[in-house]
Chains A and B, each alone.
Chain A
Amino acid sequence: MAAPKFEVPELKGYTETPPLREGASADVKSFPANAQIQEALGFPGELVENWHEIAIGRMGGLLGKYRSLQVFMDACVHCGACTDKCHYYLGTSDPKNMPVARQDLMRQVYRRYFTFAGKYFPKLVGARDLTREVLDDWYSYYYQCSECRRCSVYCPYGIDTAEITMAGREILDSVGIGQKYTNEILGKVHRIGNNLGLPGPALLDTLVGLEEDIEEDTGVAVKLPIDVKGAEVLLITPSADFFSEPHVESLIGYAKVFHAAGISWTLSSHASEAGNFGMFIGSYEQMQKVALRIREAALELGVKRIVVGECGHAWRVAYSFWNTLIGVGVGASADDKYGRMLQQQLDPNYPQPAHICEVTYDLLQQGAITMDKEANDHRIITFHDSCNVARGSRMGDMPGGQFLIPREIIKSVANRFHDMAPETILEGTFCCGGGGGLLTDDLMELRVKGAQPRMDAFKDVVDNHGVNFMATICAICKAQFTKVLPYYGFDMSMVGGVHQLVSTAIRLDAKQ
């Protein structure tokens, strides 16, 4: 690892709120998208001449389409409850990374153009004209938010900065300012079917290679089927699972679970991506377009169940939005042809969609799969709740199942588990620092600093409880920690998936 060009925060084992340092993070900007990337998504290739008019017009449009945005623009009282809740503020000390200040970048403009007080008394209410400088600030700071929603837990009105960040990014895209990382990836999904741009034949090769590895390892012919019509389960997983470490270990885990339980399953080369970066840029249309591939694959393959692999934002989109976007779920009304078409095909006896953890947990409960817990005895494990799973989704029948189920799985497959400090897990969990479209090398400084609160809590359990493995169920968390752990003096192999642990412990010969 090359020496970083910035100061890596020193870990204390707990996180203190720093005094603010104005402009500390102002120069941290991710690479903007070029014209080709922008135009592929239907956005202008460069800043349009009448950007002011377009931006204000788009803001007005969004205010009329999203109640969240309208209410959140009006309701904030500047109480300060959120000011110490964002990991990017805690890590960078830049006051514009306080959730309320990030919101105010837009609220100031909202007040100026859409409220009586801001039109006639701008100074009094802190209203501001929309200038190029403001637009630049939006680009900097709306791409320093991982849309993790931690602030929304603590706001007395539930104001969710993620909604405002999404609106900010959508307005920026509409005037021709996009982010290279996110928008380039969206183009790849539309063209090829996954974020990595891995074409069908390469994917097939990879899966065959993995099957050989598993058989060599275990002596059991565990399959990784793809494009199998009539399979029971369609598995939609982040494409990072196909080749990144440690992601692939979890993919092997899912395959072993299906194998051991005797469930027929398949991947899809058409829909080889669970991730949906359309959410990151706040575009309903982009999000729907990405999700549509999954609907098409499910109809084409005739599957009865759709299961989602370990990916945080993907699970939020799947759990909370798929029914809305593409009809994966139940409850479509009689005259809703679009919704019913897929819902009639899917088996209503299972949650649709289901998280792979829900599948594994149910099989464990039924005794359909069994574990050799001692196989994980070399690991002392903690669990990092991924933000989108924790605050944007659920698992199981009960609120909070998203916290319980992964932990119960870990406790079923391993003997040694220790949670991190209570204020840093469950609904108060800290983002890994790389979510929401920020998992790019040009934002490494922000990623390292934003990870500080999580790293502090991790250090505490490492030092005091000998923890040597942080399990998580998110492709972005895994990629982020693999990169960031070494900056803080930890080994990159300390992070991995829950199904990596399952893979280690599962008995493949138990069920014939």
Chain B
Amino acid sequence: MSSLTIFFALLFYLATALLVGGLAYKIYIYSRIPAPLKIPTMPAPTTTTGVVMRMGREVVLFESLFKSNKWIWIFGWLFHFGLLLVLLRHLRYFTEPVWSWVVLIQPFGRYAAFAMIAGLLGLWARRFLVDRVRYISTPSDHLMLALLVGIGLSGAAMSFVVHTDIIGLKEFMLGLMVFDWQPLPADPILLTHLSLVALLMIIFPISKLLHAPGIFFSPTRNQADNSRDARHVAPWAAQLEK
């Protein structure tokens, strides 16, 4: 067993543990903190079904962003849905036999890499070109984009430029999942790709990537407009009535 394989195996266990544990912890915190007042941004749906629909439109279509700014919307949407397709395509490296729908989306998933990278570059360009966005950008905002672009470019390079030993990689990944380590191909582009992905997984729960779980807990989007019909009192607020 090469030290490279051991290093990456441990790195991915660590990254997975931090990603899952960190997100679970954050979600636990979000769910535990009360929302003492009804503050949906109106007009808001009056029923739970309506709230689910509203949240669905936010998550799938980025409805509010569409109302706000068409450039951010198109770049943001290209990136996120490119990423989604790319991620789904990657399921083939974690399943054996590969599920048929994953096989079906392979070509889409491959080219989605370009949508993803284009979206990211568009968003990044705004951080330089629009004075208001330049003003609010921190170093970590730029680095986050660099990281994602790095992941996209290294991945696309292996798909479209220099193929890596994908069979070896798949054996490594399948082995990781059942704690039966297999050698990892020592391809520099692959190692770059994997390192960046592990880094992304590690910083996910301690960064602005928390917007992913956060939106589901956002009271302005997940509350129903029913304040006249149901008395909504948080536990700490109920104490004030006594």
What residues make up the interface of A, taking CB atoms closer than 8 Å to B? Answer: 17, 19-20, 63-68, 70-72, 74-85, 95, 98, 100-101, 104, 115-117, 121, 123-126, 149, 152-160, 163, 284-285, 288, 319-321, 323-324, 327, 329-333, 336, 338-339, 343, 351-353, 390-394, 399-400, 402-403, 427-428
Q: Is B214 in contact with A75, judged by CB distance below 8 angstroms?
A: yes
Rounded to whole angstroms, the CA-CA distance of A393 and B228 in the bound complex is 10
Rounded to whole angstroms, the CA-CA distance of A65 and B43 in the bound complex is 25
B29 surroundings in chain A (CB, below 8 A): 70
Q: Is A152 in contact with B220, judged by CB distance below 8 angstroms?
A: yes
Q: Is B65 in contact with A81, judged by CB distance below 8 angstroms?
A: yes
B126 surroundings in chain A (CB, below 8 A): 80
The verdict on A65 contacting B236 (CB below 8 Å), with A20-B131, A324-B37 known, is: yes
- Known: A320-B39, A394-B225; 11 extra A-B contacts, CB below 8 A, are A68-B35, A70-B30, A78-B208, A83-B130, A104-B136, A117-B206, A124-B138, A126-B138, A288-B240, A394-B43, A402-B43
Quick one: closest B residue to A340, CB to CB?
B231
Quick one: closest B residue to A285, CB to CB?
B240
A117 surroundings in chain B (CB, below 8 A): 140, 203, 206-207
Q: How far is the CB of B78 from chain A (nearest CB, A)?
A: 14
Query: Is residue B241 contacting chain A, with contact meaning CB distance below 8 A?
Result: yes
Q: How far is the CB of B49 from chain A (nearest CB, A)?
A: 13
The verdict on A160 contacting B41 (CB below 8 Å), with A68-B35, A323-B232 known, is: yes
Q: Which of these binds chain A: B67-75, B163-171, B174-182, B192-200?
A: B67-75
Give the residues from 41 to 86 in chain B that come closer than 8 angstroms, CB to CB, to chain A: 41-46, 58, 62, 64-65, 67-69, 72, 76
Contact partner of A158 (CB less than 8 A), chosen from B41, B131, B137, is B41
Quick one: closest A residue to B143, CB to CB?
A124
What residues make up the interface of B, taking CB atoms closer than 8 Å to A? Answer: 26, 29-30, 33-39, 41-46, 58, 62, 64-65, 67-69, 72, 76, 123, 126, 130-133, 135-141, 143, 203, 206-208, 210-211, 214-215, 217-221, 225, 227-234, 236-237, 240-241
Q: Is A158 in contact with B208, judged by CB distance below 8 angstroms?
A: no
Q: Is B139 in contact with A123, judged by CB distance below 8 angstroms?
A: yes
Quick one: closest A residue to B132, CB to CB?
A83
Q: Is A321 in contact with B227, judged by CB distance below 8 angstroms?
A: yes
Q: Is B34 in contact with A65, judged by CB distance below 8 angstroms?
A: yes
Q: Is A158 in contact with B241, judged by CB distance below 8 angstroms?
A: no
B227 surroundings in chain A (CB, below 8 A): 319-321, 323-324, 329
Rounded to whole angstroms, the CA-CA distance of A194 and B231 in the bound complex is 26
A332 surroundings in chain B (CB, below 8 A): 231
B132 surroundings in chain A (CB, below 8 A): 17, 20, 80, 83-84, 95, 98
